[in-house]
Amino acid sequence: MDNIENEAWQYVVLTNATTDQRLLSMGKNGVDAYTLYHFYATQSAIQRTNQVWVTDYFCRKGLHWGRERMKIAKKILLDEGIIEETPQAVKGKEGFQKKYVKIHFLLENSKETIKHATTETRLREGSTNALDKNINALDKNINTCDKSREGTKSKLKEELPFSCEQELNKLVDSPRRDLHIIGIYWKYKNFKFENRKQFEVSLKRELKPVQNLIPYQDDRIFEVIDYLDGKNFKWTLETVFKYINEDLDELKAKEKYK
């Protein structure tokens, strides 16, 4: 049973009344709302709470959506009372709020619920696992016949434990405001680092310019990042700060008539 408890947060438990009957019956926008609700529920499982810290920008990037699509889907969930926004002030950071989303109608990941889910999952995966074992046995035979290649693969695994995606996700989820901003900036620009040394050197370089952005809320930073995206010049965190207090609508209007 202890193993089941440890697996509890790998599962997202929703009700058909909330998903099928309320959301999927609304047509295309309802389907988007359903997708967004599931995304929130997944974050609930990851953060182990029904009141998650998640921004609209983070959702849009995760779902590959534009602003309007996100706005419509979220409005449906808010109007239906399926979620609610609960912004909270951050202690020691005057004027800064973390936007939390409280998710309603999630089922508790109880021992009984998870036991049933894991049993059903393991039954469905049984035949697949058998095939995997055969493939692994074949791989083992091939590797045995090629000792030099096996040695090289083991060496590479030891030398390259670094995962760029995992490190970026840690930054985005960091309670430290400066690291969080760097994380969303890097993910937006699709930065890739081959090893930990590259990552750490780049992080150290960003720690100074990011300080200017700490007093600003995420939504404003995202607006500037969206504005700069697609410009025909290289932009950085310093550029984001340069535009942070500008009237972006006015700038867009001027650019339109140039």
Handedness of CA 35, 89, 175, 216 (dihedral sign): positive
Whether residue 151 has pLDDT greater than 60: no
Selected residue with higher pLDDT from 178 and 122: 178
Residue type, 120: E
Inter-CA distances, 163 with 24, 126, 198, 206, Å: 37, 30, 12, 20
pLDDT of 91 strictly over 70: no
Crossing angle for the helix pair 147-159 and 111-144, nearest 10 degrees?
A: 130
End-to-end CA distance of the chain: 67
Of the candidate ranges 146-160, 161-175, 195-209, 223-237, the one whose mean pLDDT is the lowest: 146-160
Beta-carbon contacts of 9 under 8 Å, excluding residues fewer than 6 positions away, are 45, 46, 48, 109
> Which carries the bigger pLDDT value, residue 28 or residue 155?
28
pLDDT (0 to 100) of residue 138: 46
Q: 78, 84 in Cβ contact below 8 A?
A: yes
| CA 107/CA 42 separation, integer angstroms | 13
Of the pLDDT bands very low, low, confident and very high (cuts 50, 70, 90), residue 95 is: low
216 to 31, 155, 224, 248: CA distances (angstroms):
33, 45, 11, 15
Residue holding tokens 């095939």?
131
Asked if the model's pLDDT at residue 27 lies above 50, the reply is yes
Query: For residue 72, is pLDDT > 80?
Result: yes
Give residues with Cβ within 8 angstroms of 251, minimum separation 6.
227, 243
Reported as a single tens digit per residue, the pLDDT across 219-245 is 888 889 888 987 888 999 999 999 999
H-helix or E-strand spanning residue 51? strand 51-53
Give the 3-state secondary structure of 212-250: HHCCCCHHHHHHHHHHHCCCCCCCCHHHHHHHCCCCHHH
Distance CA 197, CA 186 (A): 16
Kindly state the percentage of the chain with pLDDT values over 90.
23
pLDDT at 54 over 70: yes
d(CA 116, CA 124): 13
Q: What is the band of 147 on the pLDDT scale with cuts at 50, 70, 90?
A: low
Mean pLDDT of 165-173: 85
